[in-house]
Amino acid sequence: MSSATTPGPTVGTARPETILVIGASGQLGYELTQALRARYGTDRVVAADVRTPRQLDLVQDGPFERLDVLDRDNIGRVMQQYRFTQIYHLAAILSAVGEARPHLAWDLNMNGLLNVLEAAKEHKVGRVYWPSSIAVFGPSTPRDHTPQDTIMDPNTVYGFSKLAGERWCDYYFRKWNVDVRSLRYPGLIGYKTLPGGGTTDYAVDIYHKAVAGEEFSCFLQPGTTLPMMYMPDAIRATLDLMYAPAASLTVRSSYNLAGMSFAPEEIAAAIQQHLPQFRTRYAPDATRQAIAESWPRSIDDSVARRDWSWAPEYDLAKMTADMLAHLPALV
């Protein structure tokens, strides 16, 4: 497998590698931009977001562009200026925020993706990455060991947009040979950015509260088991998929991806192994509880394991130790 600190291969084109990360200031985008700049050099990876990010290194350490994915003219300008060989399109409105602003969520998530796919087709971009989510599943989906191909009946706008996006990605690959690749992320947990409005975000905030010595108020009920993944595994999975030979890939909608599954009381207990005084109380939020109860408890990612040798490195205990080791320096 490729290492995040060694040069990656030239992908799909003879042009020098030039990479665009849209949504670079988000939870996934920030760490992915760092990994790509470490791999390719800071001058070859353009960070882009709709506003100037709080993370100043995104602007100071390499090129940055203010980019609204709903602005086709601006996308075209950036594409012509840099002649990208890879695009990572991460801009989206997440599940809980999407329920509060459904029309905006659909517009940004759906039309933003279509604008990027169309630009990739027109400018002959070598490879495109777009993240899907376990939100594509719904109440009728098998909740345990959810298979790659199954009933998909999402009941959130975020889920609608991700399911439709998967079909568009597959369509652009089949009809125009746009090499677009995707993963259905579980809840992502990392220490470098704050939560961004998702249903699984409690599993990030809980560590911040624990390190700050505060009681944590959880918006999900005990026993609400959901699939989760530590950010280093998510970054490695993303890059390994992008560098996998095209001929080995059998899925062009989005791959199931699994790391670990746990309920709120389990992550609280893991933290208490290090911080015995830490306390959690439960104040379920009806919207996010309903969303969580419509999602899988565990994921079958055997197709990803077969096609490009995916395997996670972190479980709950290992992740918790690493999160608590890093967070004090950031508080």
What tens digit of pLDDT does each residue of 130-150 get? 999 999 999 999 999 999 999
With CA atoms as reference, report the closest residue to 124 among 64, 53, 178, 65. Answer: 178
Taking phi over 0 as left and psi of -120 to 50 as alpha, with beta for the rest, 246 belongs to alpha
With CA atoms as reference, report the closest residue to 184 among 219, 140, 225, 234. Answer: 234
pLDDT at 275: 96
pLDDT at 164: 98
What tens digit of pLDDT does each residue of 277-304 get? 999 999 999 999 999 999 999 999 999 9
Active site residue 191: no
pLDDT at 193: 81
- 20-24, 53-57, 262-266, 322-326: least confident range: 53-57
**Which residues have C-beta within 8 Å of that of residue 132, sequence separation ≥ 6?**
162, 165, 166, 182, 183, 184, 185, 253, 254
Please tell me which residue in 40, 88, 158, 172 is annotated as part of the active site.
Answer: 158
Over residues 247-265, the mean pLDDT reads 98
| 3: pLDDT strictly greater than 50 | no
Distance of CA 229 to the CA centre of its chain: 10
* Residues pairing with 10 in the sheet: none
What tens digit of pLDDT does each residue of 298-330 get? 999 999 999 999 999 999 999 999 999 999 865
Over residues 78-103, the mean pLDDT reads 94
Over residues 198-215, the mean pLDDT reads 93
Predicted TM-score (pTM) of this structure: 0.92
What tens digit of pLDDT does each residue of 35-59 get? 999 999 999 999 999 998 888 899 9
Rounded to the nearest integer, the mean pLDDT of the chain is 93
| 239: pLDDT strictly greater than 60 | yes
Over residues 59-77, the mean pLDDT reads 96
Taking phi over 0 as left and psi of -120 to 50 as alpha, with beta for the rest, 213 belongs to left
pLDDT at 94: 86
pLDDT at 4: 40
With CA atoms as reference, report the closest residue to 301 among 186, 204, 198. Answer: 186
